[in-house]
Amino acid sequence: MAKLTMVQAINLALTQEMERDPSVLVLGEDVAQDGGVFRLTDGLLEKFGPVRVLDTPLAESAILGTSIGMAMAGLRPVCEMQFCGFSYLMMGQFEAHATRMRARTHGQITLPLVVRMPYGGGVRALEHHSESREAIWAHLPGAKVVLPSGPRNARALLAAAIRDPDPVVFMEPKHSYRAFREEVPDEPEVMPIGKAQVVQSGTDVTLVSWGAMMRPTLKAAAEITEKRGVSIEVIDLLSIAPLDAQTITDSVRKTGRCVVVQEAPRSFGPSSEITALINDKAFLYLEAPVARVTGYDVVTPYFGREKHYIPGAGRVARALEATLDF
Amino acid sequence: MPRKSVAKFAIDHLQVLDEQGVVDAKLDPKLPDERLLEMYRWMRLARELDERMLKLQRQGRLGTFPPNTGHEAVSIPVAMAMGPKDWFVGAFRETGGRLVRGEPLTSPLYYYNGWEEGNILPDPALRITPISVVIGCQVPHAVGLAFASRYQGEDAAAVCFIGDGGTSEGDFHEGLNFASVWKAPVVCIVQNNQWAISIPRSAQTASQTMAQKAIAFGIPCLQVDGNDALAMWVAINEALEHARSGKGPYLIEAVTYRLMMHTTADDPKKYRGEAEEKCAWEKEPLIRFRAYLAARGLWDDAKDEALIAEVKEQVDQAVRAFEAPVDWAQDTAFDHVYGTDHPHLHEQRAEFLANVRFDGGKEADHG
């Protein structure tokens, strides 16, 4: 058991999965010699050599396209998009092939591959380096979309993604890469994909979030618990596709109130889907409308202005109070 | 039918000024003295700005940026040769050319400190497209711009820049193919600086030259010493003449070196040796140009010191303007989503402004 950052925890998962299974390999721009621009893949080249840790030419579509071919042949490629803002260049390969191969061949060809990408704002980065676009991938049937929130679940979920039989988009909240440490077990740990985690149980209101937004969400929950003496249930989705409908439904049926916190723009995002789910499964239990704290439907501004565009603990706390007081 | 050769190709390399600044008299474009001095002044100014930006970044007064040092002899002669109707389609290592074209010195400062205001030109008629962060996307844009120029009856070309790494992207190949099929007046400049972050030129492509990639599309090409401003001047004039005369696109490979890091977030020690860098510094573009000016009797140490002081002052002024308080609104993102009016954005803007007031204008707590 060691206290690791998310960067170290993801590196640990990659190392252990590569040790466990010789069919696992890592490819992407600057992942080998440089160890990745965030150092996620540091040391892998030295441990596993250039045949399993590949610095590719600069071409996102070919990184995924070749990964699809490798996966068809039985390898388990873990490819990296350097930033999620560059991932759209591989969208054609992803939609047309990665998500469809299983259905197209009735399961004869499957694609056990992982696409890792850092996402999210708050790090004073250049354009295309700050977006939260998980909904784009989650909208595609056949894609699994995993968003860890801390070092321990990042490690366990990446191990699960690598062992998964289907394409997994693994979106890493870069704001949390080095923001805090957690105890991570030395022995391999795997968490199921598609299962949310109740990180704090409560009875008065349900708070749902994922990825980088878990930090301001938990901060707001603590603040309002202290201020109002209420009991707040906090759910960390961990995966948005598949979405753990049962955990959300059970919680909202119990509390009757729900606030969803999402970094991404509001429209057509996961919070829209969660609100619709609650409408379907828990409408008669609601004491208040489902509230959403989200990004705005604008092009992500450059970092000079981003501080007010990313949901913070203050906004979550205000939404919690309004929902409790409804 | 015997097996026979059906096509053969050759790639020319052009150098006018060697590394010591000795000019090849036959190739010398014989620019007037004032043009030569102007060219050197732009290169000095771009270098000074770059060095200052690095200091500002290290002091936390500027965000991440990609240094341009060593690339001055590529985009500056190109921008000087371009006409007012030509389009300057940059990637992100052409700051010098952007200045020549008419961008203020404050533009890169604002841009790299997280303000879209750095993209706003003093006049859109300058025909400079914004910095293209996503690699390679700008090549098809240039082809479309060139197509439109011809369609609109202009005698103009689009000049686009891309790096050695960018030649691996599909957009580069797709764009060149369109340019060739459409005979579009495009000049594509591959700024081959040997490194795409940590990936050396040798791991980026197995092609012997970057220039030859044009041959696959039927596009004429030339490899140029990209540290030699005079060679770049000769090459861009040939290329623009070719494009404007209706013969279609042209590709220039400018061989240079990324003397600094990819961006300030990167550490080259992780992947390349200092000996290589030291060797590259000896070939950098300003030394040889200055030697050439001196040999022509146009330059000496006193003039150089005076020029350096002058561009320093110019950069000082820009930094002072950049660091002066601004009253730019926080909610401008809502102004520019669409060209049409939408109620949901009005609602969200009101919500945004209320949230800014609630948070007291302080940084929201993102945990």
A208 and A153 within one domain: no
pLDDT-derived band of residue B205, with 50, 70 and 90 as boundaries?
A: very high
Report, in this order, helix, strand and coil percent for chain B, each rounded to 5: 50, 10, 40
Please list the rounded mean pLDDT of every run of 10 residues in chain A (326 residues).
96 98 98 97 98 98 98 98 96 98 98 98 93 97 98 98 98 97 97 98 98 98 98 98 98 98 97 98 98 98 94 97 98
How many whole angstroms separate alpha carbon A320 and alpha carbon A257?
9
How many whole angstroms separate alpha carbon A43 and alpha carbon A16?
13
Reported as type and span, the H/E element at residue A54 is strand A53-55
The per-residue pLDDT for B362 is 72
Please report where in the chains the tokens 């390349």 appear, as a residue.
Answer: B272
Q: Is A30 left (phi over 0), alpha (psi -120 to 50) or beta?
A: left
- Whether A312 maps to a domain, the answer reads yes
How many whole angstroms separate alpha carbon A220 and alpha carbon A319?
10
A302 and A239 within one domain: yes
| CATH code at B13-323 | 3.40.50.970
Q: For B337, which residue in chain A has the nearest alpha carbon?
A: A298
A28 Cβ neighbours under 8 A, 6+ residues apart? A36, A41, A54, A55, A56, A63, A79, A80, A81, A82, A116
Contacts of B198 in chain A (CB under 8 A): 30, 33-34, 55
A272 and A148 within one domain: no
Going from the C-alpha of A146 to that of each of A115, A123, A160, A188, A265, the distances in angstroms are 10, 21, 10, 18, 18
**Residue A101: count of CB within 10 angstroms of its CB:** 20
The per-residue pLDDT for A317 is 97
Do A83 and A129 contact (CB within 8 A), yes or no? yes
Report, in this order, helix, strand and coil percent for chain A, each rounded to 5: 40, 20, 40
Instruction: Give the closest-approach CA distance of B255 to chain A in angstroms.
Output: 19
A133 and A203 within one domain: no
Do B167 and B219 contact (CB within 8 A), yes or no? no
**Options A129, A139, A175, A308, the catalytic residue:** A129
- Whether A53 maps to a domain, the answer reads yes
In 3D space, the residue among B150, B155, B208, B214 whose CA is nearest the CA of residue B184 turns out to be B150
**CB distance from B338 to chain A under 8 Å?**
no
Q: Which of A27, A31, A34 to mutate to test the interface with B (most CBs of B within 10 A)?
A: A34
CB-based contact B197 A128, cutoff 8 Å: no
> Tens digit of pLDDT for each residue in B189-204?
999 999 999 999 999 9
User: How many contiguous H segments (helices) and E segments (strands) does chain A have?
Assistant: 11, 14
Give the domain CATH number at A231.
Answer: 3.40.50.920
Contacts of B135 in chain A (CB under 8 A): 58, 86
Bridge partners of A234, per DSSP, are A200, A207
- Whether A214 maps to a domain, the answer reads yes
The per-residue pLDDT for A147 is 98
A205 and A176 within one domain: no
Which of A127, A159, A184 delimits the end of a domain? A184
Beta strands in chain B (DSSP E): 13-14, 87-89, 158-163, 186-192, 195-196, 199-200, 221-225, 250-255
Q: In degrees, to the nearest 5, what angle opens at C-alpha A89 toward C-alphas A124 and A62?
A: 120
Whether B367 has a pLDDT exceeding 70, the answer reads no
**Residue B200: count of CB within 10 angstroms of its CB:** 15
How many whole angstroms separate alpha carbon B169 and alpha carbon B175?
10
- Report helix angle B33-58 to B72-81, nearest 10: 130
The single-letter code of the amino acid at A176 is: S
When CB atoms are compared, the residue of A57, A89, A127 closest to B205 is: A57
**Residue A11: count of CB within 10 angstroms of its CB:** 22
The per-residue pLDDT for A183 is 98
A112 and A207 within one domain: no
Number of domains in chain A: 2
The per-residue pLDDT for B359 is 84
Main-chain phi, psi angles of B253, to 5 degrees: -95, 115
Return the domain boundaries, chain B. 13-323, 329-367
When CB atoms are compared, the residue of A55, A303, A308 closest to B330 is: A308
Please report where in the chains the tokens 């203050």 appear, as a residue.
Answer: A314
B:213-232 residues touching chain A, CB 8 A cutoff: none
Contacts of B133 in chain A (CB under 8 A): 85, 126-129
A283 and A152 within one domain: no
The per-residue pLDDT for B363 is 66
Over chain B, what is the mean pLDDT? 97
- Whether A302 maps to a domain, the answer reads yes
Give the domain CATH number at A111.
Answer: 3.40.50.970
A177 and A230 within one domain: no
Contacts of A306 in chain B (CB under 8 A): 114
pTM: 0.96
**CB distance from B199 to chain A under 8 Å?**
yes
**CB distance from B309 to chain A under 8 Å?**
no
The per-residue pLDDT for B365 is 77
Contacts of B196 in chain A (CB under 8 A): 29, 58
How many whole angstroms separate alpha carbon A8 and alpha carbon A183?
11
CB-based contact A219 B367, cutoff 8 Å: yes
CB-based contact A297 B345, cutoff 8 Å: yes
CB-based contact B196 A308, cutoff 8 Å: no
Contacts of B330 in chain A (CB under 8 A): 305, 308
Could you write out the three-class secondary structure of B96-116? Answer: HHHHHHCCCCHHHHHHCCCCH
Measured between its terminal Cα atoms, the distance across chain B in Å is: 74
ipTM beyond 0.90?
yes
CB-based contact B114 A312, cutoff 8 Å: no
Whether B361 has a pLDDT exceeding 80, the answer reads no
Do B156 and B121 contact (CB within 8 A), yes or no? no
**CB distance from B354 to chain A under 8 Å?**
no
pLDDT-derived band of residue B41, with 50, 70 and 90 as boundaries?
A: very high
Whether B214 has a pLDDT exceeding 90, the answer reads yes
Which of A184, A213, A238 delimits the end of a domain? A184
Structural domain for A239, as ranges = 197-325
Do B103 and B49 contact (CB within 8 A), yes or no? no
How many whole angstroms separate alpha carbon A107 and alpha carbon B184?
46
B230 Cβ neighbours under 8 A, 6+ residues apart? B16, B17, B23, B27, B28, B29, B31, B77, B289, B292
Instruction: Give the closest-approach CA distance of A91 to chain B in angstroms.
Output: 13
Mean pLDDT of B312-336: 96
Cα R_g (chain A), whole angstroms: 19
CB-based contact A122 B363, cutoff 8 Å: no
Do A32 and A55 contact (CB within 8 A), yes or no? yes
